[in-house]
Structure 1
Amino acid sequence: MKILIIEDEARIAKRIERMTRNFFDKDLQILVCDSLENGLNTIENNPIDLLLLDLNLNGEDGFDILQAFVAHSFQTIIISAYTDKAITAFNYGVLDFVPKPFDENRLAQAFMRFTVTGKQSGGDTQFLAVKKAKTIRLISMKEIRYIKGAGIYTELHLSDGRIELHDKSLEALEKLLPETFERIHKSFILSWHEADKLIVEAGGKYSILLKNSEVLPVGRLKYKEIRHKLI
């Protein structure tokens, strides 16, 4: 696993690196950058799994990095004293916002959100960003009917019938989504607002009818849970 730390204060960067190594396996590659320019160049030239980002980089704005790479496949944890920017950061789809000053327990909580599979509680993300050519569009969660896994990518199926591709996997997006979304199948996450009724088919197969008349499959292990929620 490869982790990038972007932090302009060397003392804090070393502390973050130490805490990161304490939490994760020894078999870990950590890259450290102390400026906005170095961070941008490193991400351009290195596939990473997790970004630990400060928002104030020698007076430069760490949000420039979020805007440049918001639709990429890696997850981002903000470590910053600028707590007033937390809501904006979550709107860009960050996994967690760790306020400075922080301790090892708080950082470990953020790392747990990264390592644990499945939907996380308290997701504050209101938008998902998709990148086309050199432009980025923030798609409101209210526009999304369901999300379909497509290998290492995902398809965002929107209320107007359009399909947008996202670079994050279904598993990665599941950690960011609010409580109104539910994993109904290994390949599908559904917005509950779109659900109409559960269908039991011959042979023990299950599916769910959406309000727009589309039908999505339901996993056998998810059937009882979904049935209970739709009653």
Structure 2
Amino acid sequence: MEKLRAIIVDDEANAREALANLLHIICPEVEVSGQAKNVDSALELIRHQQPNLVFLDIQMPGKSGFDLLTYFEKIDFGVVFTTAYQEYAVRAFRVSAIDYLLKPIDPDELQTAVEKYKAQMTSITPQQVTILQENIQNPKANSLKERLKNEHQRIALPTAEGIHIVQMNDIIQCESLGSYTKFHLVNQKVIVVSRLLKEYEEILDNYYFFRVHQSNIINLEHIKRYVKGDGGQVWMSDNTEIEVSRRRKEDFLALLSEFYVNSGKLA
């Protein structure tokens, strides 16, 4: 079995040793070829060792894990962030499609992260890091006004062909296809991602989207018309017609009304 070379970057010695021990027990195919306590020593270590994987802490004195990645024009190694961030930060990682492990690290989640890297052998892009950074610094929106401020942010959509970076306001709707989610974008573009619609409901909750039906999440910005009915239907900017479930109708109409008021648009 070919070994994967890994480097652990964390300012806490106990955290580095704990992760190294877990990797030795859970993932024997991963060889920890070095450890670093700060960005400067990590930079030298990565350039010298050329690892396959870097387990990277975000919060460190002086320079952060984000700062480390800015030194590389091309990030040609896998990155798994290790972080003590909770709640809203989980959404940030999902938006950027970057792997993460919450501290204290769960052995099963560690094994899953390594297996995912082995299966895809992918590295992250600078754009993904930027998206992650933007969303870490912008916690969950608590009102529609705050959601509207996020309209120019982006989302990373992982597919078999690679990572697609998409503007939030270019998404018309998301459609459930079993264990896949189909993104309908402006200009008739479509992207299919191997993740459940439920996951994207949690991600897009921070923006101006609403799940009108078990199978559909829509972008309020792209609604052309609402037709009354038992639940009703919405006509989207791409001329698709989407049912609104009866049990979601009241919440949807309330949010839609608030959207028009806060966005300065007239219904």
Tell me the CA shift for residue 160 of structure 1.
0.7
**Percent identity of the aligned residues?**
16
Higher strand share: 1
Higher helix share: 2
2:4 is matched with which residue? none
Tell me the CA shift for residue 129 of structure 1.
2.5
Aligned-partner residue type, residue 203 of structure 2 = L
Checking the alignment, whether the CA contact within 8 Å between 1:198 and 1:227 is kept in structure 2 is: no
Identify which of structures 1 and 2 has the higher relative contact order when contacts are C-alpha pairs closer than 8 Å and 6+ apart: 1
Aligned-partner residue type, residue 57 of structure 2 = D
1:8 is matched with which residue? 9
Q: SS of 1:171's equivalent?
A: helix
For each residue in 1:155-180, what CA deviation from the matched residue of structure 2 results, as whole angstroms up to 9, or x when unmatched? Answer: 01011112111122212122222421
1:54 is matched with which residue? 57
Larger-Rg structure: 2
1:146 is matched with which residue? 173
Aligned-partner residue type, residue 161 of structure 1 = Q
2:199 is matched with which residue? 172
Aligned-pair Cα RMSD in Å: 4.7
Checking the alignment, whether the CA contact within 8 Å between 1:197 and 1:208 is kept in structure 2 is: yes
One of 65, 69, 76 as aligned partner of 2:78: 65
Checking the alignment, whether the CA contact within 8 Å between 2:181 and 2:196 is kept in structure 1 is: yes
2:157 is matched with which residue? 129
Unmatched 5+ residue regions in structure 2?
1-6, 21-25, 35-45, 59-63, 81-93, 104-126, 258-267
Unmatched 5+ residue regions in structure 1?
1-5, 18-29, 41-51, 80-86, 98-109, 111-118
Q: Give the structure-2-normalised TM-score.
A: 0.48
1:189 and 2:217 matched: yes
1:219 is matched with which residue? 245
The size of the alignment, in residue pairs, is 173
Q: 1:227 to 1:89 in 2, by over 3 A?
A: same
* Distance in 1 separating the partners of 2:130 and 2:199: 15
